[in-house]
Structure 1
Amino acid sequence: MDEFLELKYVLVESENFDDYLTFIGIGYFARKVAINLKPVQSLRKNHDGTYSFDFTSSVTSYTITFTPGVEFEEVKPDGVKAKSIITFEGNKMIHIQGEQNGTTSEHVREFYEDQLIVTTTANGFDKTAIRKYQRIY
């Protein structure tokens, strides 16, 4: 993953993301704000060996700091707490979030030099949300 550290990617395309947000219980207004944002995502490695994944938009900023393979408590941007674990496999960052209500979501981020593709699935969700990001040079 080292070759993708510090690269920034901006959202350019989204499919089924509104349906996913509806499925996990995000209200109408918050969904409309979320689907109209053009967030920037980037991954960095910290001096202590942990990683931070940053989401930045005109409305909010959100950072997850984690050690690969170690479960942690995450407070998602919507305020919901989840038990999460993030692992790396080649160019993929696999982020699994288990919420207290029993919903488990998986976000697979595939990093490339020029783009980032995020594929989201969840137990009980009959679709796949795909978001495509383009690298900012």
Structure 2
Amino acid sequence: MVEQFIGTWTLTASENFDEYMKAIGVGFATRQMGNIAKPNLVISVDDAGLVSMKSETTFKTTEIKFKLSQEFDETTADGRKTKTTITFENGKLVQQQTWDGKKTTLEREIQDGKLTAKCIMDDVVAVRTYEKAA
């Protein structure tokens, strides 16, 4: 299931991310840092099936640990406190975050050896592309 996602991924392209951060309510200063950060995404799974997704930048490292399809509390890199559920659907890791009556979806999938993360908030869509680190 999530085995294809395991590894260290480096951000290589980001489209419309500033608009997405605005849509979810991220302030100007945090957006500026978010736009210049080039995170490494480190995904691993332990023997019990607990998935770890770590985002590492020079500014901040955040990590979530979860079991598929089980809701958990997440504090996002921009400080939102969300109820989050991550499922595996049609080859994609689908992350749903809800907070303050709002909802956003992040869809991660592997295409042509690259990991794409599609960030969706209402009608705003950002796409971030990662390549596997050697």
TM-score by length of 2: 0.92
SS in 1 for 2:95: strand
Structure 1 position 88, deviation (Å): 1.2
* Higher deviation after alignment, 8-17 or 42-51: 42-51
Structure 2 CA distance for aligned equivalents of residues 42 and 57 of structure 1: 11
Summarize the Cα distance change of 1:40–1:15 in structure 2 as closer, same or farther, 3 Å threshold.
same
Q: Could you tell me which residue of structure 2 aligns to residue 3 of structure 1?
A: 4
Runs of 4+ in 1 over 2 A off after TM superposition: 111-114
TM-score by length of 1: 0.90
Is residue 125 of structure 2 the alignment partner of residue 135 of structure 1? no
Answer yes or no: is the 8 Å Cα contact 1:91–1:112 preserved in 2.
no
Count of equivalent residues: 133
Answer yes or no: is the 8 Å Cα contact 1:84–1:97 preserved in 2.
yes
Structure 1 position 26, deviation (Å): 1.0
What is the correspondence of 1:103-122 to structure 2 with a 5 Å cutoff? Answer: 103-112=102-111, 114-122=113-121
Unaligned runs of 5+ in 1: none
- Identity across matched positions, percent: 29
Answer yes or no: is the 8 Å Cα contact 2:73–2:82 preserved in 1.
yes
Structure 1 position 92, deviation (Å): 1.2
Structure 1 CA distance for aligned equivalents of residues 14 and 124 of structure 2: 13
- Greater share of strand residues, 1 or 2? 2
Is residue 36 of structure 2 the alignment partner of residue 36 of structure 1? yes
Structure 2 CA distance for aligned equivalents of residues 64 and 26 of structure 1: 20
Answer yes or no: is the 8 Å Cα contact 1:113–1:135 preserved in 2.
no
SS in 2 for 1:128: strand
